[in-house]
C-alpha cells in the first residue's frame, strides 16, 4: 500500500469515527420524566414551583449548579443526576447546589 492511499484511508476512518460520535448526542431531558418530576425540574427556572420547592431562589439555574456538566456558554449540558440527558442551562431542579 502506498503512502497517499494509506493517508486517505486513515483520514476516511477518522472522519467516520467523528461523524459516528454525533449519533450518540444526549437527548434533552423531558420535564415529564419521572425523575425530573420528582426533583421539580423545569427548563426555565422562573417557572419553578416555589410552593412545592421553597428552597428555590431567583438566580439559581442549572448553569450555575455544581452538578451541571456543560460549559458556561452552552444552552444545555449534562447533569450528574440525569445521565445520558441534557438539561437546559436556564433550568432548575430541587437538587440545585451552588457551584464552588
38-53 per-position pLDDT tens digit: 999 999 999 999 999 9
- Residue 21: predicted pLDDT: 45
CA distances from 13 to 4, 10, 32, 67, 71 (A): 14, 5, 40, 35, 29
Residue 17 has pLDDT above 60, yes or no: no
- Looking at residue 22, its pLDDT comes to 47
Quick check: helix, strand or coil at residue 37?
Answer: helix
| Residue that wins the pLDDT comparison between 15 and 97 | 97
pLDDT digits (tens, 9 = 90+) for 24-34: 568 999 999 99
**pLDDT of 93 higher than 60:** yes
Amino acid at each position: 500500500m502506498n503512502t497517499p492511499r494509506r493517508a486517505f484511508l486513515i483520514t476516511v476512518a477518522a472522519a467516520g469515527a467523528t461523524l459516528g460520535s454525533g449519533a450518540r448526542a444526549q437527548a434533552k431531558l423531558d420535564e415529564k420524566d419521572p425523575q425530573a418530576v420528582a426533583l421539580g425540574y423545569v427548563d426555565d427556572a422562573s417557572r419553578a414551583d416555589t410552593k412545592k420547592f421553597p428552597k428555590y431562589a431567583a438566580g439559581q439555574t442549572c448553569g450555575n449548579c455544581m452538578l451541571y456538566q456543560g460549559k458556561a456558554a452552552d444552552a444545555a449540558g449534562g447533569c450528574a443526576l440525569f445521565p445520558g440527558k441534557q438539561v437546559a442551562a436556564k433550568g432548575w431542579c430541587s437538587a440545585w447546589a451552588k457551584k464552588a
